[in-house]
Structure 1
Amino acid sequence: MMKKLALAAAAFLGLTGLQAPPAQKPLPELSLWRLDCGNFVIKDYNAFFSDTMAYPPGRPKAIVASCYLIKNGDRYMLWDTGVPAGLVGKPAENAAQRIELKATIADQLKRIGVRPDQISMIGISHYHFDHIGQAANFPKAELVIGKGDLDALKVKPTPKGMEPELLKPWIGGGGKVTAVEKDADLFEDGRVIMLKTPGHTPGHNALLVRLRSGNVLLTGDLYHFTEQVPIKGVPPFNTNRADTLASMDRFDKLARNLNAKVIIQHEPADIPKLPPFPQAAQ
């Protein structure tokens, strides 16, 4: 009887196409580096980051800008590109914040033997200047960005606070650009996935990296610092509050279900969650 059942099951699987797929060759090593892409002092983080006045008023807060290098076999991609390179040695300051940059992405890549022309892809979490500031230093790379953000950058006249010139090689420059409207499997092997998380901007994305050592989730600007997570704080400059809260809910559930290491890209305390540069997580 058991033998007949086994044969029947095998026949059913054959008819329905559910038989086990043929063995595939092993995937190449996947590596992840954290790059230093800027430092900020937000002079009143309550006014800057909370539309419900959730934090102590009038207090400064230090945050960081983090970018990431991903190597998949012999292919390299950047996730976000930090503040503009011109800030090295020339900090900028206004009424809201002070910004500085210690070293460019290109200088950091040089330390691990990676040339700018080896970067084949740049994934952008969203269009704010501290995430696209050095993208144009890699003009041969394919730019992958949320469609809502790309559309917003093309609006004329340019909306206040947007700097499309930072993406000049792709916006009017002829560079290869891919606008994503849903989750995107960047290397088509299921290991580096842009996650649609709109709200901070119309086309905001987070990133899932499925390393051999475990899953890592990079927030983009869905969250800016740890204190924001439990209260679901929404910055007043987000483009859609309801979308922000829905994206936070999705992201939090993904983190739990995938047992992922969450790294808030602007949170200084999250820097040690990855090996210190020039070491890589794998």
Structure 2
Amino acid sequence: MLRNFIFAAAIATTAGTATAAPQVELWRLDCGRIAVGDLSVFSDTFAYAGEKRTLTDSCYVVRHGNDYMLWDTGLPAALLGKPLAANDVLAPTLDRTVPDQLREIAIKPEAISLIGISHYHFDHVGQSASFPKARLMIGRADLEALKSKPVPFGAEPSLLAPWLSSGAPLDAVEGDKDVFGDGSVVMLSTPGHTPGSHALLVRLAEKGPVLLSGDVAHFEKQFETGGVPPFNTNRADSLASMTRLQSMARALGATLIVQHDADDVAKLPTFPASAK
């Protein structure tokens, strides 16, 4: 009896001192807009002819306990207030900067300790240098491509200068990466759009799992039709990554967010509200 009592007391003590899992919270930020005058540039099968669309450029803040991570950093701040060019195939503009939005939710820019990058295109890394002390996490294949000559389509290595030339902390990610080591935030390997592209899985206690697509697709219709842009670096990988995200969303019951699709982004609370 005494032995059983001691054993039960030990279990109770251990349970009482166990560290609770850190709370995870997710905000969506407005990181720009891109007016597309000819949507057919997003299809290598001549789809979307004559269509126009305005793509949202979304990025995200993830709070994991006391740690803050940015997922993508949107269009460059130099585009702030730029008028949309009426006749351009692609016309980007920015209404608010990332640091400005962080201040609205009482997060100091210097509190951002991690930046996760879905891929190297300028509209996903544009404001990274506003956080030069953060550790940058980017696919190894994308990092190597940024160092190549000539640089790939859509890439602006200067936007990542603190990490490419100044020695800021950098993780070259291969495959999937469990960011905090507890499965709550995971970078998912989704090559095809670029060789080192990633998506992000965020597990929320109330909302449930959320999948942030990177540029595996630019709008939901591409998932429906298997639409692949001609500027993707590998068509077969692109289709495989689409399949992976859709299959994962079904298996987890996850909310899949296509980051450039305004309707998809609206599945998350409107800023400054967050998902928990």
Q: Distance in 1 between matches of 2:92 and 2:102?
A: 22
CA RMSD of aligned residues (A): 1.3
For the 8 Å contact 2:190–2:196, the answer to whether it is kept is: yes
> Match of 2:205, as an amino acid?
R
Match of 2:222 in 1: 228
For the 8 Å contact 1:145–1:179, the answer to whether it is kept is: yes
1:141 Cα shift? 0.2
Match of 1:69 in 2: 61
Q: 1:159 to 1:252 in 2, by over 3 A?
A: closer
Q: Distance in 2 between matches of 1:34 and 1:161?
A: 23
For the 8 Å contact 1:91–1:101, the answer to whether it is kept is: no
Is 2:255 the counterpart of 1:246? Answer: no
Secondary structure of 1:136 counterpart:
helix
Q: Cα deviation per residue 1:45-76 (whole Å; 9 max; x = unaligned)?
A: 01x11000122x12211110000000011100
1:160 Cα shift? 4.5
Match of 2:158 in 1: 165
- Structure 1 gaps of 5+ residues are 1-21
After TM superposition, list the pairs within 5 Å mapping 1:168-247 onto structure 2.
168-213=161-206, 214-247=208-241
After TM superposition, list the pairs within 5 Å mapping 1:1-282 onto structure 2.
24-46=18-40, 48-55=41-48, 57-91=49-83, 93=85, 95-213=88-206, 214-282=208-276
Percent identity between matched residues is 55
> Match of 1:281, as an amino acid?
A
> Match of 2:76, as an amino acid?
P
Q: Cα deviation per residue 1:15-64 (whole Å; 9 max; x = unaligned)?
A: xxxxxxx8642112110000000011101101x11000122x12211110
Q: 1:108 to 1:133 in 2, by over 3 A?
A: same
For the 8 Å contact 2:73–2:128, the answer to whether it is kept is: yes
> Match of 2:64, as an amino acid?
N
Secondary structure of 2:244 counterpart:
helix
1:261 Cα shift? 0.4
Report how many residues are paired. 259
For the 8 Å contact 2:35–2:54, the answer to whether it is kept is: yes
* Alignment TM-score, normalising by the size of structure 2: 0.91
* Alignment TM-score, normalising by the size of structure 1: 0.89
1:85 Cα shift? 0.7
